[in-house]
């Protein structure tokens, strides 16, 4: 869990990237899907407290900043993931931490001020918990 936000490690219950890659390889082989490296990098976003990126096939790809690729077992794509810098990820987690889990979401087009305004709308008092 990076700064309190779940990553692919938590979501896939994987020990590390090698473990996640092994599971991906097995899952795609079992369904006769051939893995490939996508030329399209995709942006990480936060969805209900999970780091995900959207594959072009429509599936959500759980990802971790330490991984070489985001792995889509639905279509076999291995994606480069565009991550916000670590300081930004830490700030996002801090801005989202007082929300209930289903409300902890962030889109790359949103800035810190957008999240602060959303927190105000949600009636979240900073440091109340």
User: Is residue 77 a contact point for Zn ion (CB under 5 A)?
Assistant: yes
Q: How distant, in Å, are the alpha carbons of 78, 92, 120, 123 from that of 126?
A: 39, 14, 9, 9
Does residue 80 belong to the site contacting Zn ion (CB under 5 A)? Answer: no
Stretch that binds Zn ion, among 20-28, 67-75, 85-93, 105-113 (CB under 5 A): 67-75
> Apex CA 125: angle with CA 124 and CA 127, to 5°?
120
Closest CA to 23 of 72, 66, 56, 59: 72
Q: How far is CA 56 from the centre of its chain?
A: 15
Residue 61 C-beta: closest distance to Zn ion, Å: 7
Which residues, numbered 47-66, are part of the site for Zn ion (CB under 5 A)? Answer: 55, 57, 59
In the complex with Zn ion, the residue whose CB is nearer, 28 or 105, is 28
Q: Which is nearer to Zn ion, 57 or 122 (CB)?
A: 57
By CB under 5 A, is residue 74 in contact with Zn ion? yes
Give SS3 for 46.
strand
Residues that bind Zn ion (CB under 5 A): 55, 57, 59, 72, 74-75, 77
């Amino acid at each position: 869990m990076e700064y309190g936000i779940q990553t692919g490690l938590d979501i896939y219950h994987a020990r590390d990237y090698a473990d996640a890659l092994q599971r991906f390889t097995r899952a795609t082989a079992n369904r006769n899907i051939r893995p490939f490296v996508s030329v399209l990098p995709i942006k990480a976003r936060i969805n209900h407290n999970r780091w995900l990126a959207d594959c072009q096939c429509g599936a959500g790809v759980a990802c971790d900043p330490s991984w070489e690729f985001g792995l889509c077992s639905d279509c076999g794509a291995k994606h480069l993931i565009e991550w916000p810098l670590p300081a930004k990820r830490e700030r996002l987690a801090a801005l989202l931490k007082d929300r209930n889990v289903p409300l902890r979401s962030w889109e790359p087009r949103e800035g810190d001020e957008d999240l602060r305004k959303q927190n105000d709308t949600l009636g979240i008092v900073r440091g109340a918990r």
